[in-house]
Structure 1
Amino acid sequence: MHEALKRVHPLAWTIIVGTIFGRMATSMSIPFLSIYLTKQMGVTASATGVIVAVSSLVGIFASFYGGYISDRIGRKKVMLISVFGWAAVFIGFASASAVWAFFILNALNGLCRALFEPTSRALLSDLTETKDKLLVFNLRYAAINIGVVAGPLLGLQLGLSNSGTPFLLSGVVYALYGAVLIIQFMKYAALFLRKQAHGETLRLSEALRTTGRDSVFMLILLGSIFSVLGYGHFSSTLTQFLALSPEVPDGATLFAYMLSLNAVVVLIVQYPLVRMASRFSPMVPLILGNACVSCSLLLFGLLTPGWSWLGAVVLFTIGEVLLFTMMDVLIDRIAQPDMKGTYFGTMGLNNLGNVLAPVLGGFLIDSFGTARPLSVFLPVAVSAALGIPFLLLAKRLLFKREHEAEAAGTVRTESPSAETLT
């Protein structure tokens, strides 16, 4: 483990540490946007769902191009433009007062995320040896959750429901992150010159055809859309339900604790779950994770709204870990070496699930109210489970593909092992 950590590139460490502070900043503001719009501005649940969903909707259209353009013009330019754009967006949130302004700013928030996230993951892949990729991608995932542990609690202290301070602070954090990236990019400038000189990149149309013809990848993408649909209800439908439920007088506080519990459980169970998952096909944890998320959503409908929901959060979190700890490793494994940014970016199309989650959840809450939680959460649990058949088929095709490649002696890459986690 110690030797593997020493092999992690300094620029990769910058991204990992920056992820901690970036997610801390984001999680003390964005997840509570639904509560702010619903309770402070009097926006309906359906309209709030649309405003929250626009971030992911923009991300769907931008994610593929963000990953593709990072393959074409370089990771550095895309990351710097998006991170400083992100800083400006959060500062805009701090000063916004009209509903339409929040709509536009959240759309730009989705654009920046769609450019930065796949590009940073592709850069981590570029900088890391195959045997260390499982470790590096899971360090990044742990960094996300370390940030999310502190973010919601910090947001409560800063007055998340009636103040623009959390958004302003988030903008400052992303600006500082961008400044550190500039310094690191200058220090390792030779690395990016070598990357730019490495052959020609595909045209956009050719990249689209290549990913579209990859049947395993497309099935994983379709299955993950439903998985993300289930995951997306945590930060949209649950927040609106808690904000409107008379049984929960302080929904914002409860949701902050739910977010922090979610992140703490991730940090506790991530290591043993990754160790376990590494013994199986990378598709197995995705399928099990989808099932756990779906079951947890059903529990939210069966349990009395309030603190009893914390138990369902634990099951939800186990499903989240199974879904996302191996996803980056899996995409890196099936992607063509010179198209990793494109593959990571195309996987961002699974944000369609994040678009549908707040819209579906808002519609169900408006239709059934908070007095009938099962009527709200049963449909969303069923819709999340629809991803399982696609993932099962992808598992079968991936096994067939790798078996044939092994027999022909043309295996694309060695699968990262969990040995570096020990």
Structure 2
Amino acid sequence: MTNHIGFIGHAERVPMSWSSLPPAVWVLVVARAVNRLGAFTLPFLAVVLTVELGATVSQAGLILTGFGLATIPSRLFGGHLADRIGRKWTIVAGLGGCAVAQLWIAASPGLWSAIPAVVLLGLAFEIYEPPSQAIIADVTGPADRPAAYGLLGAAMAVAAVAAGLLAAWLGQWDLRWLFVVDAATCLACAVLVGLALPGARRAQLNRAARAWRDRKLLLMLGVGTVFAVLYMEVLFGLPLTMLDEGVPASGVGIVLAVSALTQIAGQPLLRRLVLDDFQVMTVGYVLLAVGLLATGFAGSLSAFVVAAVVWSLGDLLLLGRALTIVSGLAPEHARGRYLATYGLSWGFATAVAPLAGSWLIEGVGSFGLWAICGLAAGGLAAVQPLLRCRLRKPD
């Protein structure tokens, strides 16, 4: 297989500004932000299953496990469809499926009806991710992709902050209305994409382009899975650590809001860097390592906030660059499948991080958890030069 990797590791020119990005990127960013504004239902799903529909805690756990398992084939299916029927209509289909599942959950008269709806939601939940990422790669050059992925990340972060406020307001009433609003945002996003996004030509599915046989992609998947586990450990372990240090639960929300705002405010940094992708990722992993180690030493809300600023800047540098590298590895007709395969790192991390985090907290304490995570991030920084050489080597 011949990969399109000639540009990997090079900073060919200064990336364009957001205002110069193609219209298709802006349509996608607006649509995804609208969708993210309503994506506040998952934290409430267990509450609806137990309080509204009478499930026991163990039953709710099993149902949510089913949801999580269903998201793994969902992403692969999205990548396959993106390369088969086109990016645009795959996004529309995925969002439509999410809307149907959300409305089904909201209207369920009992647990027996909600279970297949939750599984359907999992099967549709990740379909739109690979085509969304592939569209950005389709309409931008290698030097411009970090800015485009950064814009998408910033829009999602802003919408996430607004989504939390909207969820707090809607949560005063019947929680099922959260799912109705989420379904409405999915449909609004689907309509916007269907009407405003240019139609892409249907790709011919090249069976020779099999992502699972590309060793370079698998190498990125391995590294990306370690990063995803570290990212998910923050979401899982940070609240436990802060509560253990006597910081009130409201402090967790403050730290997560600061993290989102840091990623928004730091976006201009992405457009000023002229380092190559792997140099940027080395800096990102160093910042992540410092932030995670600082979390282990933190004992007050202000200290956790400072640590969050540091690791959030690391996340900012890492997320878009990894997608840029993977989209460069992929043949043009197989970008959806490549990005879907790489995206499995988040599915693996979602399954591994809670188990590993709880085991480490019980075994070595909160400080031990963050020390190990910091060392792992430092190790990822150290291997970036080797990864760069390996990915640039011809097959």
Range of TM-score over shorter length: 0.7 to 0.9
Distance in 1 of aligned mates of 2:118 and 2:240: 17
Distance in 1 of aligned mates of 2:195 and 2:56: 44
Structure 2 partner of 1:314: 309
Superposed CA deviations along residues 246-299 of structure 1, whole A, max 9, x for unmatched, are 8344x2x333322321111111112114422xx222122223323433443333
- Whether 1:354 and 2:347 are equivalent positions in the alignment is no
Unaligned runs of 5+ in 1: 405-422
Distance in 2 of aligned mates of 1:389 and 1:38: 46
Distance in 1 of aligned mates of 2:205 and 2:37: 35
Question: Compared with structure 1, are the counterparts of its residues 130 and 318 closer, same or farther at alpha carbon in structure 2 (3 Å cutoff)?
Answer: closer
Structure 2 partner of 1:15: 28
Superposed CA deviations along residues 107-127 of structure 1, whole A, max 9, x for unmatched, are 544433421011112123334
Give the secondary-structure state (helix, strand or coil) at the position aligned to 2:128: helix
Select the residue among 143, 148, 152 that pairs with 1:136: 148
CA drift at 1:303: 1.6
Structure 2 partner of 1:207: 209
Select the residue among 132, 148, 152 that pairs with 2:164: 152
CA drift at 1:22: 1.8
The amino acid of 1:168's aligned partner reads V
- Whether 1:281 and 2:306 are equivalent positions in the alignment is no
Structure 2 partner of 1:265: 262
Superposed CA deviations along residues 18-56 of structure 1, whole A, max 9, x for unmatched, are 121222222x44357689999999959xx96x8767655
CA drift at 1:94: 4.9
| Contact map agreement 1:29 1:160 (CA 8 A) in 2 | no
Distance in 2 of aligned mates of 1:58 and 1:353: 15
Structure 2 partner of 1:72: 84
Structure 2 partner of 1:234: 234
Give the secondary-structure state (helix, strand or coil) at the position aligned to 2:92: helix
| Contact map agreement 2:227 2:377 (CA 8 A) in 1 | yes
The amino acid of 1:344's aligned partner reads L
CA drift at 1:95: 6.3
Question: Compared with structure 1, are the counterparts of its residues 128 and 153 closer, same or farther at alpha carbon in structure 2 (3 Å cutoff)?
Answer: same
Select the residue among 29, 38, 42 that pairs with 1:30: 42
CA drift at 1:330: 1.9
Q: How many residues align?
A: 377
Distance in 1 of aligned mates of 2:46 and 2:122: 16
CA drift at 1:162: 8.6
Superposed CA deviations along residues 181-223 of structure 1, whole A, max 9, x for unmatched, are 23236xx4xx43xx12x6x3223xx433xx3443332222111
CA drift at 1:174: 1.1
Structure 1 partner of 2:3: none
TM normalised by structure 2 equals: 0.79
The amino acid of 1:397's aligned partner reads R
CA drift at 1:142: 1.9
Select the residue among 360, 367, 378 that pairs with 1:374: 367
Mean Cα deviation higher: 54-63 or 139-148 = 54-63
Question: Compared with structure 1, are the counterparts of its residues 308 and 3 closer, same or farther at alpha carbon in structure 2 (3 Å cutoff)?
Answer: closer
Question: Compared with structure 1, are the counterparts of its residues 301 and 133 closer, same or farther at alpha carbon in structure 2 (3 Å cutoff)?
Answer: closer
CA drift at 1:226: 0.3
Question: Compared with structure 1, are the counterparts of its residues 133 and 379 closer, same or farther at alpha carbon in structure 2 (3 Å cutoff)?
Answer: closer
Question: Compared with structure 1, are the counterparts of its residues 98 and 160 closer, same or farther at alpha carbon in structure 2 (3 Å cutoff)?
Answer: farther
Unaligned runs of 5+ in 2: 1-14
| Contact map agreement 2:101 2:121 (CA 8 A) in 1 | yes
Give the secondary-structure state (helix, strand or coil) at the position aligned to 1:247: coil
TM normalised by structure 1 equals: 0.74
Query: 1:152-171 alignment to 2 at 5 Å?
Result: 152-159=164-171, 163-171=175-183
| Contact map agreement 1:82 1:116 (CA 8 A) in 2 | yes
Distance in 2 of aligned mates of 1:83 and 1:142: 21
Question: Compared with structure 1, are the counterparts of its residues 287 and 132 closer, same or farther at alpha carbon in structure 2 (3 Å cutoff)?
Answer: closer
CA RMSD in angstroms, aligned pairs only: 3.9
Question: Compared with structure 1, are the counterparts of its residues 213 and 72 closer, same or farther at alpha carbon in structure 2 (3 Å cutoff)?
Answer: same
The amino acid of 1:202's aligned partner reads N
Mean Cα deviation higher: 163-172 or 260-269 = 163-172
